[in-house]
């Protein structure tokens, strides 16, 4: 092509673009391009929506993969919240004890608590009673040691744990998952024990309501928690007490011994009854279906106190 012709064409192109640009800027200043923009965006919309839909489908696939991570994170958050609640309760107890110690001006070994608790770890052996294979294996193994069948096998339905009398587990002891109460030991064999869940109609325990606010943790009324078969309820709290949905339910004691507060769940329903008491339903925090490992709360004497007592006895005898 002729060089001059080409250069002329390029020059005309530049001038043409320049004129169009000036016209566009002028039209924009006069608000004449708004309709053109609408048409342009309408022309671009079909492809833009398709690209956005494809991008959304890819995001949903990645969301499906991250749902498992989200579930795990939620469980972690719940367990962390439970730990926080427990720590708040223990903190308030420690503060009370510190005040008492300050009043008494010092402490000695005699002020250490006499009774404490030990946690015995146990795994869930079965969710529906003793499996026949395990039963026979236990009978065969126990027979070799001269043990009777009744000492080995628990003919009962429900959750079975792989700790029994030889592990220090006894009937009536509380069973925890973390700091959440799952129930208590109903019956024990030599090697296994049966769990009575909190929702069972024969379960009952003294509990106390706790409410958290911006000004701290407040201990509420005490009552008796009972299982209803599907959930739990609290009885014995007069209607003069303050109860609200969302209040947390902790143990008042552990087998009658004062100790750390164990978590049961939250108040889901709180209504006045005609008998002058609250009708309270509790949503248990523990779920037996996905439990693999539990801890059994076993009471124990403070070794320091018993050692101190024995030393005193020895010194008195010498005198």
Partner 1 sequence: MKHLVVLMMLAWGAMMLEQARPELLPAGAVLVPLAVTGMLWTRRGIGVFAGGVVLLIDWIARPQGLPLVPVILTCMVAFVLASRPSGDPWTGRRRRWRLPEWLHPLALSMAGISLLVVPTMSMQFDSLTILLGELGQYAMIAVPLSLLLTGLMKLAGEFGFRRLA
Q: Are 181 and 207 in contact (CB under 8 A)?
A: no
Report, in angstroms and rounded to the nearest whole number, the Rg of the chain calculated over CA atoms. 35
Structure tokens at 310: 């024995």
Residues 68 to 97 in contact with partner 1, rule: CB under 8 A: none
Angle at 222 between CA 169 and CA 76, to 5 degrees: 60
**41 near partner 1, judged by CB under 8 A:** yes
Which lies closer to partner 1 via its Cβ, residue 29 or residue 145? 29
Q: Which of 26, 30, 51, 189 binds partner 1 (CB under 8 A)?
A: 51
Which lies closer to partner 1 via its Cβ, residue 53 or residue 87? 53
CB of 33 to partner 1, least distance (A): 6
CB of 61 to partner 1, least distance (A): 17
The CA distance from 154 to 149, in Å, is 9
**63 near partner 1, judged by CB under 8 A:** no
CB of 12 to partner 1, least distance (A): 5
Which lies closer to partner 1 via its Cβ, residue 49 or residue 314? 49
The CA distance from 266 to 210, in Å, is 9
Which lies closer to partner 1 via its Cβ, residue 53 or residue 244? 53
CB of 30 to partner 1, least distance (A): 13
Identify which range of 3-11, 106-114, 153-161, 163-171 contacts partner 1 by CB under 8 A: 3-11
**61 near partner 1, judged by CB under 8 A:** no
Cα–Cα distance list, 227 to 20, 56, 124, 232, 264 (Å): 82, 47, 21, 4, 12
**3 near partner 1, judged by CB under 8 A:** yes
**171 near partner 1, judged by CB under 8 A:** no
Long-range Cβ pairs for the range 199-202 (8 Å, 24+): 199/227, 199/228, 199/229, 199/230, 199/231, 199/232, 199/284, 200/227, 200/229, 201/226, 201/227, 201/228, 201/229, 202/227
CB of 4 to partner 1, least distance (A): 10
Binding pattern for the stretch 6-35 against partner 1, x by CB under 8 A and - elsewhere:
xxxxxxxxx-xxx-xx--xx--x----x--
CB of 60 to partner 1, least distance (A): 16
Which lies closer to partner 1 via its Cβ, residue 43 or residue 241? 43
Structure tokens at 55: 């991008």
For residue 87, the Cα-to-chain-centroid distance in whole angstroms is 14
CB of 70 to partner 1, least distance (A): 22
Which lies closer to partner 1 via its Cβ, residue 48 or residue 110? 48
Q: DSSP strand E in 246-292: where?
A: 248-251, 263-272, 278-284
73-111: buried (b, 16+ CB within 10 Å) or exposed (e) per residue?
A: eeeeeeeeebeebbebbeebeeeeeeeeeeeeeeeeeee
Alpha helices in the chain (DSSP H): 3-29, 34-104, 132-144, 149-152, 303-318
CB of 64 to partner 1, least distance (A): 21
Binding pattern for the stretch 110-149 against partner 1, x by CB under 8 A and - elsewhere:
----------------------------------------
CB of 51 to partner 1, least distance (A): 3
Q: Are 236 and 279 in contact (CB under 8 A)?
A: no
* Positions in the binding site for partner 1 (CB under 8 A): 1, 3, 6-14, 16-18, 20-21, 24-25, 28, 33, 36-37, 40-41, 43-44, 47-52, 55
């Amino acid at each position: 092509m002729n060089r001059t012709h080409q250069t002329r064409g390029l020059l005309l192109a530049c001038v043409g673009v320049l004129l169009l640009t000036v016209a566009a800027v002028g039209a924009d200043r006069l608000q004449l391009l708004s309709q053109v923009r609408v048409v342009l965006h309408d022309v671009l919309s079909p492809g833009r929506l398709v690209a956005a839909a494809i991008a959304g489908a890819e995001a949903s696939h990645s969301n499906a993969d991250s749902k498992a991570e989200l579930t795990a994170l939620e469980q972690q958050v719940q367990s962390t919240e439970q730990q926080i609640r427990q720590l708040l309760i223990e903190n308030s107890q420690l503060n009370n004890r510190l005040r008492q110690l300050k009043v008494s001006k010092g402490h000695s070994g005699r002020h250490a608590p006499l009774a404490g608790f030990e946690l015995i770890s146990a795994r869930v052996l079965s969710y529906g009673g003793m499996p026949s294979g395990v039963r026979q294996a236990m009978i065969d193994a126990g027979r070799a040691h001269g043990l009777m069948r009744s000492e080995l096998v628990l003919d009962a339905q429900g959750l079975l744990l792989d700790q029994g009398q030889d592990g220090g587990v006894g009937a009536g002891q509380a069973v925890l998952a973390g700091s959440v109460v799952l129930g208590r030991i109903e019956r024990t064999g030599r090697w296994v024990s049966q769990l009575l869940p909190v929702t069972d109609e024969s379960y009952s325990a003294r509990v106390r309501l706790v409410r958290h606010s911006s000004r701290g943790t407040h201990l509420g009324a005490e009552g008796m928690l009972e299982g209803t078969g599907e959930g739990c309820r609290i009885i014995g709290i007069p209607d003069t007490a303050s109860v609200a949905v969302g209040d947390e339910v902790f143990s008042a004691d552990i087998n009658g011994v004062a100790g750390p507060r164990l978590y049961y769940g939250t108040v889901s329903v709180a209504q006045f009854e005609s008998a002058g008491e609250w009708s309270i339903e509790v949503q248990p925090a523990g779920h037996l279906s996905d439990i693999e490992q539990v801890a059994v709360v076993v009471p124990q004497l403070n070794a320091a106190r018993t050692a101190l007592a024995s030393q005193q006895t020895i010194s008195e005898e010498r005198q």
